[in-house]
Amino acid sequence: MTNLAGKSVLLVISGGIAAYKSLELIRLLRKARTEVRCILTKGGSEFITPLSVSALSEHPVYTDLFSLKDESEMGHIRLSRDADIIIVTPASANLMAKLANGIADDLASTTLLASNKPIFVAPAMNPEMWAKPSTQRNIEILRSDGVQFIGPAAGEMACSETGLGRMIEPQDIFDALQSYFKLSTPLAGKRALVTSGPTYEPIDPVRFIGNRSSGKQGHAIAAALARAGAEVTLVTGHVSLADPVGVRTLHVETASEMLDACQSALPAHIAVCAAAVADWRVENSADQKIKKQTGASTPSLSFIENPDILAEISKSPNRPDLVIGFAAETQDVVKAAQEKLVRKGCDWILANQVGKTDNPVFGTDHNQVTLVSRSNCDEWPPLSKKEVAARLVEAMISHFNDTGTKHDDKPISRPLSSAS
Ligand code: CTP
């Protein structure tokens, strides 16, 4: 797996004969299990079709700022926020001029202006255009604004002139992005295990006991760990989410299956148990469908306790260096979470208060959590589940930076008593 696996790239394709090379770049990125979303400018669509871009990227292509469809599917702000980086291939003189001068008159230039992510450009233009003082001024502005240039190269151009202005080959752009991510993958070399979603405990072959967990938080954590360079195994119950890109995903149904899959993924450096595991399973589950018989008494179920996966991982001989659980509590959140942490033998717990109407949690995209360790806690503001995931991964990175691979309470900032 390359260090581009699990990353998300927004590719802006502007007008120029080199636009066709973007198709090969998309292919290389997808092969490396990178998520690719594309904006095709009006000029770009004169050279390649939206259909080929969308077929290769496996996503719709975004073309028009004011198209209701594009904006309702994914607005330009989200497009720029969801990607780890933005890369413009080919970057035309016109688009570079707009980017240098803050002009936002179409989807590509507006998204670039709205972006808070690293921007890479692979320029492609006629050598005279490249050498023009106006273009050179724009390049200087872009460089001082932190835009990173990949190329251009020198050589023969499509217009049969020779000089500086050829777009760098897709493989070289791919290699440049690889090198960039190598430097920005602080968890490279770490193995992580994440559980997510509900478990289903069968009553008979067609009925089960389950719960409302959507898996959104666990899946977001797996994706964030992969983006930070970790080698991630996600063990998930039934959810309606796609497997995160660049993450080895094992699908299970019951708590016992989840435990087996987790044990097969050890040893690991990090374990995050975000699954809503059923506490009990049906002891007398039936091999055949239980039939309703008129006049007969209703069936009664007896239960048997399920293994506690978090506790099992915490006491495993292959115990990860950092074991993290979740706790949904209705009262005394921090105290209850700390007791749970001691009982289950984990290092951190992300605790949230459920049952409050302003923090419904299940199925929503938001969460408000407190990160609790044995002696500290840190109450986080309301965040999206993706932001919670990113912040948790940041906490893990500083933990490993501070302590090597040993666990202690360092990364958490506030004394326990102050958050309850
Ligand atoms: N968990 C687990 N296996 C179980 C039950 C829970 O791995 N059989 C994990 C969850 O993934 C979560 C943490 O334990 O990280 C807390 O789950 P919770 O349901 O709050 O804990 P319980 O032990 O069931 O405690 P409670 O009595 O509060 O329900």
pLDDT, one tens digit per residue, over 21-55 is: 999 999 999 999 999 999 999 999 999 999 999 99
Paired sense of beta strands 191-196 and 231-236, if any: parallel
Question: Which residue is closest in CA terms to ligand 1's atom 9?
Answer: 310
Question: Which residue is closest in CA terms to ligand 1's atom 16?
Answer: 327
Distance 336 CA to ligand 1 centre (A): 12
Task: DSSP letter for 63, please.
Answer: -
Distance 55 CA to ligand 1 centre (A): 42
Instruction: Kindly report which listed range (6-10, 66-70, 107-111, 301-305) carries the lowest average pLDDT score.
Output: 66-70
Ligand 1 pocket: which of 309, 353, 354, 369 to mutate (most atoms <8 Å of CB)?
309
Q: Give the chain's end-to-end CA distance (angstroms, integer).
A: 43
In which residue are the tokens 């992580």 written? 192
Q: Which two tokens stand for residue 259?
A: 């435990």
What long-range pairs does 73-78 form, CB within 8 A, spacing at least 24? 74/37, 76/107, 76/110, 76/111, 76/114, 77/114
pLDDT reading at 409 higher than 50: no
Distance 386 CA to ligand 1 centre (A): 22
**Under CATH, what is the fold of the domain 191-283+302-403?**
Rossmann fold (3.40.50)
Atom of ligand 1 nearest to the CA of 343: 23
Contacts of 42 (CB under 8 A, 6+ apart): 15, 63, 106
Contacts of 116 (CB under 8 A, 6+ apart): 80, 81
Task: Say what the pLDDT of residue 108 is.
Answer: 94
Ligand 1 pocket: which of 193, 194, 266, 273 to mutate (most atoms <8 Å of CB)?
273
Query: Could you give phi then psi for residue 194, rounded to 5 degrees?
Result: -130, 135
Task: Say what the pLDDT of residue 48 is.
Answer: 96
Strands (E), 126-254: 148-149, 153-156, 162-166, 191-196, 201-202, 208-209, 231-236, 248-251
What is the C-alpha to C-alpha distance for residues 130 and 115, in angstroms, rounded to an integer? 25
For residue 190, list its beta bridge partners: none
Query: How does residue 227 score in pLDDT terms, banded at 50, 70 and 90?
Result: confident
pLDDT reading at 356 higher than 70: no
Domain limits, the chain: 8-183, 191-283+302-403
Distance 232 CA to ligand 1 centre (A): 22
pLDDT in tens, 291-345: 988 777 888 999 999 999 999 999 999 999 999 999 998 889 999 999 999 999 9
Where on the phi/psi map is residue 116: left (φ > 0), alpha (ψ -120 to 50), or beta? alpha
Distance 149 CA to ligand 1 centre (A): 49
Q: Which two tokens stand for residue 245?
A: 């890109």
Atom of ligand 1 nearest to the CA of 325: 15
Distance 4 CA to ligand 1 centre (A): 34
Burial 138-176 (b: 16+ CB within 10 A, else e): bbebbeeeebebbbbeeeebeeeeeeebbbbbbeebbeb
Please indicate whether the domains covering 8-183 and 191-283+302-403 agree at the CATH topology level. yes
Task: Say what the pLDDT of residue 40 is.
Answer: 96
Closest CA relative to residue 249, chosen from 208, 200, 192: 192
Distance 411 CA to ligand 1 centre (A): 23
Question: Which residue is closest in CA terms to ligand 1's atom 20?
Answer: 327
pLDDT in tens, 159-203: 777 888 999 999 989 988 988 887 788 998 999 999 999 999 999
What is the C-alpha to C-alpha distance for residues 193 and 419, in angstroms, rounded to an integer? 29
What is the C-alpha to C-alpha distance for residues 118 and 116, in angstroms, rounded to an integer? 7
Task: Say what the pLDDT of residue 416 is.
Answer: 39
Measured between alpha carbons, how far is residue 398 from residues 104, 226, 351, 380 in Å? 37, 16, 20, 16
Strands (E), 245-374: 248-251, 270-273, 280-282, 303-305, 322-329, 348-353, 366-367, 370-372
Ligand 1 pocket: which of 344, 352, 392 to mutate (most atoms <8 Å of CB)?
344
CATH match for 8-183 among 3.40.50.1950, 3.20.20.140, 3.40.50.300, 3.60.15.10: 3.40.50.1950
Task: DSSP letter for 44, please.
Answer: G
Find the residues whose C-beta lies inside 6 A of ligand 1. Answer: 195, 255, 273, 275, 277, 279, 306, 308-310, 325-328
Q: Could you give the residue numbers annotated as active site?
A: 159
- Do 70 and 62 form a contact (C-beta atoms < 8 A)? yes
Instruction: Kindly report which listed range (57-71, 97-111, 261-275, 281-295) carries the lowest average pLDDT score.
Output: 57-71
Atom of ligand 1 nearest to the CA of 324: 15
Question: Which residue is closest in CA terms to ligand 1's atom 12?
Answer: 326
pLDDT reading at 359 higher than 60: no
Query: What percent of the chain clears pLDDT 90, i.e. is strictly above it?
Result: 70
What is the C-alpha to C-alpha distance for residues 17 and 158, in angstroms, rounded to an integer? 7
Task: Say what the pLDDT of residue 6 is.
Answer: 86
Query: How does residue 357 score in pLDDT terms, banded at 50, 70 and 90?
Result: low
pLDDT reading at 102 higher than 70: yes
Mean pLDDT of 232-256: 92
In which residue are the tokens 């066709």 written? 20
More confident residue, 241 or 93: 93
Question: Which residue is closest in CA terms to ligand 1's atom 21?
Answer: 327
Query: How does residue 2 score in pLDDT terms, banded at 50, 70 and 90?
Result: low
Q: Which two tokens stand for residue 257?
A: 């299956």
What is the C-alpha to C-alpha distance for residues 62 and 80, in angstroms, rounded to an integer? 12
